[in-house]
Amino acid sequence: MAAPPTEYEVKAAFIHNIAKFVEWPAVPSSVRSARLCVLGQNPFGEALEALQGKPVGRLNWEIVQADGSASLKECRVLFISASERSNLGRILESIASHPVLTIGDSEGYAEQGVMVNFYPEQNKVRFEINLAAATGAGLKISSQLLKLARIVRPAGGRP
């Protein structure tokens, strides 16, 4: 009945909110925008437009469709689409140890090193966090956020 929000409207709002619980290394005061890059097929449609220009801390979101790997390090948040599954290792390597919050919504992404990964459960959106990947990139994730997430260990890790 009343049209529920679409999956990606909800995910866009999640990205905005999750960013508030992540601490990035300081950036020069000349930087005014927080780049939210989408790599691969953009599944959000218009849903990310709702974030365009919206303040996040002292910065404002700038939505960018990424194509090559060259500019990925400039992203504050990088959404890696399901279409990039086969390139995932190479993509993560190209931004390794840079403070880029990687987000995905594909099964297995978190295990492979994506920091935040959405998954569906009973028609609701849930997310898992690969804490080691975030820490390795110099990002600090608030414990409030960790409480709400399923924590994933990197593939091959021992519990």
Partner 1 sequence: MRVGFQAKAITVFPSFIFSALAMGIATALPMQAVAGLREPEPVADLTHLSIEELLDVEVYSASKFIQKASEAPSAVTIITAADIKAFGYRTLADILRSVRGMDVSYDRTYSYLGVRGSGRAGDYNSRVLLLLDGYRLNDPIYDQASIGTEGVVDVDLIERIEVVRGPGSSIYGSNAVLGVISIITKRGRDLDGLEVSGELASFDADKERLSYGKRYDNGAELLLSASRYRSRGQELFFPAYDAPATNNGIARNLDGDRYDSFFGKLAYAGFTLTGGYSSRDKAVPTAFYDTTFNDPNTEFSDGSAFVDLGYYGALGQRWDIAAHVFRGHYSFDGIYPYAAALNKDETRGAWWGTELKFVGRLEKHKVVMGAEYQDNFRQDQFNFDIAPYDLLLDDRRDSTRVGVYIQDEFSLSRNLLLNAGLRYDDYSTVGSTLNPRLGLIWNPLATTTFKLLYGTAFRAPNAYELYYASLTQKGNPSLKPEEIATWEFVVEHRLRPDFRLTADAYSNRISGNIGQIADPADGLLVFVNSGLVDAKGVEFEAERLWDGGARLRTSYAWQTSRERESGATLVNSPRHLAKLNFSAPVWGDRLRTGAELQYASSRRTLAGDNVGGRLLANLTLLSEKLAPGLTLSASVYNLFDKRHADPGGEEHVPIDAIQQDGRSYRLKLNYRF
Residues that bind partner 1 (CB under 8 A): 1-10, 12-14, 16-18, 21, 40-43, 45-47, 49-51, 54, 67, 83, 107, 120, 123-126, 145, 148
Q: How far apart are CA 140 and CA 20, in angstroms?
A: 11
**Closest approach of Cβ 155 to partner 1, in Å?**
14
> How near is the Cβ of 139 to partner 1 at its closest, in Å?
17
Q: How many Cβ atoms are within 10 Å of 109's Cβ, its own excluded?
A: 26
Nearer to partner 1 by Cβ, of 13 and 59: the residue is: 13
Measured from the CB atom, is 132 or 145 closer to partner 1? 145
Minimum distance from CB of 44 to partner 1 (Å)?
Answer: 9
Neighbours of 92 (CB within 10 A): 21
CB of 159 to partner 1, least distance (A): 18
DSSP code of residue 139: -
Q: Residue 68 or 156: which CB sits closer to partner 1? A: 68
- From its phi and psi, is residue 45 left (phi > 0), alpha (psi between -120 and 50) or beta? left
Looking at the Cβ atoms of 14 and 24, the one nearer to partner 1 is 14
Element (H, E) at 96: none
Tell me the C-alpha distance between 36 and 122, whole Å.
Answer: 28
- State how far the Cα of 77 lies from the Cα of 36, in Å rounded to an integer: 5
Nearer to partner 1, 1 or 70 (CB): 1
The distance of closest approach from Cβ of residue 82 to partner 1 in the complex, given in angstroms and rounded to an integer, is 9
